[in-house]
Each structure stands twice: as structure tokens, then as C-alpha cells.
Amino acid sequence: MSYQDDMSSLADAAAEMYGDSMEPVTYHARSIAGASPVDHPSVLVRLKDYRLSALNTDVILPTDQEMRIQTSLITWTVGPEDSVTREDGSEWKVAGPIRGGKRHPWYKFNMRKVG
């Protein structure tokens, strides 16, 4: 079994543990600012509020959420111009450093509500 297979298995186990806290979103991937997005519907993600100790008015706002996307389930690279539409119709934009990705079980990054 390869390292990436191990990471995928780890992410699968975490996604199963998260259960109902996984949420389907439409992910809008953009290669550069102003480019037309490539839409990816029904992507399962985990969104969670930040702990009070993590809040920093320069980087993380009280309304921001951390998003996790299982790396093995997507075919694109998460970028700073990307956004998502949640089931309630709200729009969120990548607003912070992108961690994880290839050779990791998850992409993890900050999302900020924009509409």
C-alpha cells in the first residue's frame, strides 16, 4: 500500500467519524483571479467554527470557518481564488493559508462568508 493510499484510508476513517457533520457544497475552482470557475457539485466537506483562542482579527474573523476537503476525493488543487456555495445558498471564499493537500489526507483552509 502506498503512502497516499494510507493517507486516503486515514481520511476515509475521519470522514466516517465526522458522519453528519460532513456537508455537501458546490465547489468553484478558479485557476487565476477573474477566471471563470469550474464547478464541482456535491463535494463533501467538513466545516467547523474556530475556537476562541484561534481568532485573530488580522487573519481569522469570528464568522470564519475552517474547511476540510478529503484530498483523495478531488481532482483539482485548492487555490486562493476558489469559493463554495453551501446548501443554504450562502457564498464562501478561501480566505487563509491552505494547508495539507497532496501527500496529506485533507486540504484545510479558512473560509470567509461573502454573500
**If you ran DSSP here, which 8-state letter would residue 100 be given?**
E
Q: Looking at residue 90, what is its pLDDT?
A: 97
pLDDT 10s digits, 63-108: 889 999 988 888 899 999 999 999 999 999 998 889 998 888 889 9
Domains in the chain with CATH codes: 3-113 (2.40.10.270)
pLDDT reading at 29 higher than 70: yes
Q: Once rounded to an integer, what is the mean pLDDT over residues 23-33? A: 93
22, 83, 61, 97 alpha-carbon torsion, rounded to 10°: 90
Fill in the amino acid letter for 60. I
CA distance 96 to 73: 22
| Grid coordinates given for 73 | 476525493
Q: Once rounded to an integer, what is the mean pLDDT over residues 35-53? A: 88
CA distance 30 to 12: 26
Higher pLDDT, 97 or 113: 113
pLDDT 10s digits, 97-108: 899 988 888 899
The strand ranges marked E within 1-115 are 22-29, 38-49, 65-70, 83-85, 91-94, 99-100, 106-113
In angstroms, what CA-CA distances link 26 with 9, 22, 34, 76, 92? 24, 13, 18, 14, 10
Q: Looking at residue 19, what is its pLDDT?
A: 55
pLDDT reading at 12 higher than 70: no
Backbone angles phi and psi of 58, in degrees to 5: -85, -30
